[in-house]
Amino acid sequence: MRRIALRAITALVATAVAVFGYLAAHGDFQRWKDESALDGACGGLLDRNVVRSVLGPGSVEAEDEDWGGDGWVAVCKVHVDGGGTAYIRILDTAYAGQSPDSLYTGPAGGDALSVPVGHGWTGLFGADPDPVEADEDLFGADDAEEVTASVVLECTEAGSVKGLYVTVETELDKTLDNPVNRPEFVKIATSTAAKASKARRCDAELGKPVRDLDLPVNEDEYKPLDTADGTCSGIPTAPGVSIATETARGDAPYEVCRLAGADLSKRYVLAAEFGPLAQESFVNYQEFGGEEDLPSPDVPAHDRDTGGLRSWTTAKCPDGLALFTLLPTSERADERKATASDPGLAYERAALRAFAERSARAHGCSSPVKP
């Protein structure tokens, strides 16, 4: 019996060595190794063919990461030798807010506004341009080193998770100024979202292939406020407030409108957050804000007083409670009068109301709450 077993083991080893030798001799071993790495990365939630088409044909390095805490479905990094790199994070949205800034809204510092992914996807597309000379491209190949796409999925009641938030930072040697290149930066995010939805029995409504994308909006792409037709549309002008920086509204889970004076000095920043992003903001405000005058689900609306930090209102939406905020810049806050009749405070109420009403309507929400 031992001899038989020994012969069987010897035969298996010999077969394995032969297979290994065959693959190596025919150049297929590296391909098999790369495919295995891609198939196993992020818990098997990546679409190997899509990742290959985006990052290139070189040898693959894939590494799963443990961020700790609850809610992380998968976190991994994939690098292709001579090609690109992708850093993928997938979060169960039931845990939004348990880790600070776990959901993507835009680049750190916020100079460039993220734009909607569109094409039926609820998501964001953003990049942070480096400072450049006036005659250089803001989003040239060497300037936007990290381009981020995020997609949020709302699962059905039968799903094993509440929702999924997929964020992918992609580095490619391709310029965003060429519109043909931009869809490449969202393919891994949308394909991962589709595969994760199926694997987690989320059964979410998915978007269509992304054929085109707007550039992220840089801070110098301003326009007269009375001509705004995106996230700043409908907001009235006022003395010292006549310039807007905005994005298309689309179906983004996060929207921003910046208001400035004729001298381009910033006056106000208005933001709308939906679904898990609003949930995360409520948690962060209460746990990390350190101030009493901050948004809370228990206070559905609040007008800033002379000593307050910001105004806010909320609206009930299909994906939960949405949050709309208005934050004056430090310069504007210093200019305000210390009286309740300050016309600046009255303007803030009108601006927030116009912003919130249009944003809520576009997302199928109820009318925002009045303080």
Each residue of 269-300: pLDDT tens digit?
A: 999 999 999 999 999 888 866 666 789 889 99
Residues 69 and 186 occupy one common structural domain: yes
Residues 192 and 230 occupy one common structural domain: no
Predicted pLDDT of residue 238? 95
**Which range of residues forms the domain containing residue 280?**
223-362
Q: How confident is the model at residue 9 (pLDDT cuts 50, 70, 90)?
A: low
Residues 173 and 73 occupy one common structural domain: yes
**Mean pLDDT of all residues in 238-265:** 94
Residue 322 pairs with which residues in a beta bridge? 315
Residue 161 lies in a domain: yes
Residues 141 and 227 occupy one common structural domain: no
- Cβ neighbors of 180 (< 8 A, separation 6 or more) are none
pLDDT in tens, 93-109: 999 988 766 799 887 65
Q: How far apart are CA 336 and CA 352, in angstroms?
A: 17
Predicted pLDDT of residue 109? 57
Q: How many CB atoms lie within 10 A of CB 55?
A: 24
Q: Is the pLDDT of residue 138 over 90?
A: no
The count of structural domains within the chain is 2
Residue 301 lies in a domain: yes
User: Which residue among 166, 199, 232 closes a domain?
Assistant: 199
- How many CA atoms within 13 Å lie on the side-chain side of 89? 19
User: Which residue among 167, 199, 231 closes a domain?
Assistant: 199
Residues 175 and 109 occupy one common structural domain: yes
User: Which residue among 151, 166, 199 closes a domain?
Assistant: 199
Residues 192 and 232 occupy one common structural domain: no
pLDDT in tens, 38-65: 999 999 999 999 999 999 999 999 999 8
Element (H, E) at 107: none
Residue 343 lies in a domain: yes
> At residue 96, what is the residue type?
A
Q: Rg of the chain's alpha carbons, rounded to an integer? A: 25
